[in-house]
Structure 1
């Protein structure tokens, strides 16, 4: 079929009036040689066709008219960018000649409107179109309406469209990344995370192969450990960067993507034989190339900006999840046995010193692990010895003394772990409004006994000072730690001052940078020996102590700092040798007033109280079950969330749910939410030994920290059941 020819218009007055005032397309129509078009010369067009063309040409909306049985295309300036390279060749020509790749999709829609006269409309309708040299899926809001001739017959189809491709792609990208972000943490294992992510991305982009290649360092190449591939050879193994592209490594290490389309005159490298296109996305951390996301396609394609952004953001998110999962697995392996953990940490210390030349940092890590091993071994020894003696010689009087000794050692171990969690900012706090004046007044007798007669105490705290939002028990421990440190620094006696204020009050400490305005400070100052600059620089390191063996674990100041930071505040310490020390906590003020709630008693269970106990650790579950039964509760146990949900779905209804937080299938909080979907008012108590859970993440559920005594467990359950009424 001949194509219409476009010639320069000599005079606008020579063109039919209905072709005027239409911009660039109008000029093309005026200068076209219509002998090659089925429409013929414009003067011979029907009145209906002339009228609709005169209307669409100056319109600002994207409009295309398909006229006659051959659906000859006429459109305006606003529409021409929509078809890209098809313009201007498609103008005045049958649609099949230029819309061939989507004709099987488009023609039934046009024919339906032409034969029935009924309008067709759709939102975000997908169309596969080749408008930039490569095929791509685009999206449009469309309205196809019949255009009638004077005799009532349908002469053509008027299509008003709006290209929504950019918006749809953005929404799909955001939805994809959101779904990925919600799914990956629950998979746990790095291998499962990687397998799930590459499969999902391959489906989303229509790729033939997707995988991660981990950088081998020094530009040597990359290693592919897992991949998703369909109908193409595997890439598993190690490969040089140059085997993909001679310039690939230089691009990737600079943070640039590498996009390639392979054609007959530019075939792919041997490693990518059979591929039509490739997209390689770098993953950098601290400006160092860590991994590459490899995405390969069977056919050449348009690399849309949104697809490239999707690949880049997916690569960052997935690699971060993989790295985190690997770190968690490494930590779990280290925690399997204390001796193995210490040995591995020491090996890592030596290797890191050679590789990173960070002797100071590795010295602190070694000190931390050694201190943990030393203190825990001291506490485990009487526990193990007491239990062995009780088993061999079950004398009641002797057993009572041995059990008391074991419990004291266990309590010391519990306090040590609590301090470690406080330093690591992983303790589950119970923040509440606390009046500093009242707290210090209640502790005054304990402080005085701890200091002795040679040290005087001054307290300068205004009772009208705003309450602070903090875990009251942890704040008491922190204050006591600071008081004891001050006592040890005043061996010959002295003066200890406890003061508090708000913000930059006169005579108070300097407000630290980076903290929110209006924080309340609590300061403990002494007139003791003070610290040298060297000791001051290291005093917050865990297990660093200048005291003699047995006089301190070196966790006091790290615990105080951990509590302050985790509570949303800060911690600072100033000291001069021979002049004393000032230690200051900064804590956020509480918006709520002080609570005045009398403590509830912790009686035994009422007859018939039923507890659903869920914990995937058999030893912990068995010990908790025995404590509950001794308290008089009827206990039904489950070793996982799925087993517990099956019990509830079977119709069994407990009076209270007691669940561990860290479980393999799902967290205790997530499990409790699922239970609340079935039993909306069921009281829930979550027990946890290591979880940095904020109040928002707890969704209002009560928490009991491990390890706990039977009295603490009884008190928590009694409070829950009393509230339920």
Structure 2
């Protein structure tokens, strides 16, 4: 097939006039043209000079066009054809004005000047507006226009040798624009001025009707326009939605797609051409540079490159200016922030100092309280033994006075331990309604007749996990504080309830069901300075001798040690609200120890092994046990106790101090339980808060204790063993 075609072409070429045979595609077109419609005669009738010239032009590799005769009939070679784009081949053999109409006002005077004067016209990088790809564009050429003479010396036509320099000129102009813009924008400093200058310069350079940066809002839906260049187009200032302009517009821009000509909706419908160029960063789409034309416009690659480079350059300058503005603002407030940070640091140091001071006070208080308990234990035991042996009333009164003083000292030490959170608690499930009902008469007596009391505690409230005795003491402290705040009478409310989701809980209590117990009065209240110090130990606003300053710290210590919290709200002359927050329990509340019927008689011939490393405490306790009817063997350490048992000591009950050197009472108790699973054990302690694991299966008695309390604890062990 190809050989036949080539053969046919060779036969046609053989019929060409001689000067056309090496002329390529254009020569074939010249031979095939219908010359009856052209002002020029067929090629075989051309003048000798024209034929000779065309024989030279057609095979040449330079871009050459010949405008022949007074009508400037266009004759050109294959190398020139791409220069005129879509005008080829219809321009071949036709008057130039027909196909170069858009630039004829520019081209015709040049051709006429050469024809009339015979002088050559030449120029470098000569711009021409030409429509060769549908829409018009500016192209640049190096040109040389020379007169071609006939034999008689007359000018037959104009020989135009051209070299298109459009790409080079566009590159140089583009680089010059960007270089000047790169020098100008950073010098402006302000981000808004940089943005306004960039879109204005680009709009003027391109001859656009509107140019702006659409800054992305980061929500994939909205963009905002702040600065814009306008030339006859409506404003786009303000916030807009991507979806109002094109479907999936944000997604396409976010993918880095350059969008040409499909941005026309609503008020933008009058625009004929548009280009959207995304500016992306590490976080995705940051902005879009939009260029709009209200007349038809072809976005050539040169323009697209220019817009792209301008977008990068301008947005970089805008981002840098914004960062610098933030840095300047940051530096402007640096002194103030440093001062604020130093003040915060000082406040934190003061708070830390106070916390450490309170911890040290707690440790010191706990240690002193432990020693006091050890001293009070033999004092109370000895006084009770003496009391049982003195026959006369006067001696009994003296002993009773001494015991009352010892009880007051014991109460004070208990408060110290509770404040230090080292009190040995016996938590159990307690019903608040029942506990407060039992205390109603005591509360009424404590408040006196001038104060009305209102109690609102639902019997159906869940129980709370707390030491009931310590809770009674804490509640009584709060009631007495309320009384002292109302010397002329007033009203006290005791309320309780379940903390719901809307209740503001104290710090540290976030999970689990919590019950609040509140004591509120309408007394004198506290100002901010007093309220800030109300939890300090030994701080009191009461007169000398009327308060220890340990009431509220003791309540706070009990609450925290029980896994809850304690808050106080107060306003001067309006009253105070003190609220205990305690963990709730789904288990039913247990009967109180004081309500349990217990046998006071000891086990028959019960043999007690008493272990305590304090001789004076051990001896006093042994005397009390013997007075209660028990047989007692003493050991001054856990090691000695184990040695006695290994030697065959038969015991019915173990009574041991907890805090001892080398081995604690709880550790000794666990060791003996492994040998004698049913052995009744009573742990006596005056200091440490035993954990539930350590307490499990043992009776605990707090130092200092009265004879009746010791008998009560041993009786409980007797009841447990018997049944």
Tell me the TM-score normalized by structure 1. 0.46
> Which structure's CA Rg is the greater one?
2
Tell me the TM-score normalized by structure 2. 0.47
Higher RCO structure, 1 or 2 (CA under 8 Å, sep 6+): 2
